[in-house]
Homo-oligomer: A and B are copies of this chain.
Amino acid sequence: MVVPMQIARDHDRIFGALGDATRRDIVRRAIDGEEGVAQLASHYPMSFAAVQKHVAVLERAGLVHKHRIGRRKVIRTNLEGLRTARRLLDRYEELWRERVDRMDQLLKEAPKEAHR
């Protein structure tokens, strides 16, 4: 599994963004896609600016996007971002399964080896 540098950076940003509990909670809340930055900020024990930064990190990672409604900017989770992360984890699990299969195959092909 060779990962081109650009894709690797995308993965860095996605997993890096998800490595913070506040940001994961923003992702969860933004699934409904109804709150602006100020409303989101009201849920957390930190300044508006701090939450704004978290949102910016999520946006750069492609996990959410903003869209203007009146003077608010509503944050909505981007399903594709989540799926990108999930696909990579799926791929690792697939490699795991392939390894197990290979070991099973070895045992089947040369069962007597174990006794030599």
- Distance of A87 from chain B, by nearest CB (Å): 10
Residue of A15, A86, A99 with most partner-chain B CB within 10 A: A15
CB neighbours (8 Å) of A96 from chain B are: 31, 77, 79, 82
The copy count of this chain in the complex is 2
Q: Which stretch, A17-25, A42-50, A65-73, A106-114, touches the partner chain B?
A: A17-25
Size range of the chain A interface in the assembly? 35 or more
For chain A residues 13-35, which have a beta carbon within 8 Å of chain B? 13-21, 24-25, 27-28, 31-33
CB neighbours (8 Å) of A17 from chain B are: 19
Judging by beta carbons under 8 Å apart, are B21 and A12 in contact? yes
A residues apposed to B, CB below 8 Å: 1, 3, 8-9, 11-21, 24-25, 27-28, 31-33, 77, 79, 82-83, 85-86, 88-90, 92-93, 95-96, 99
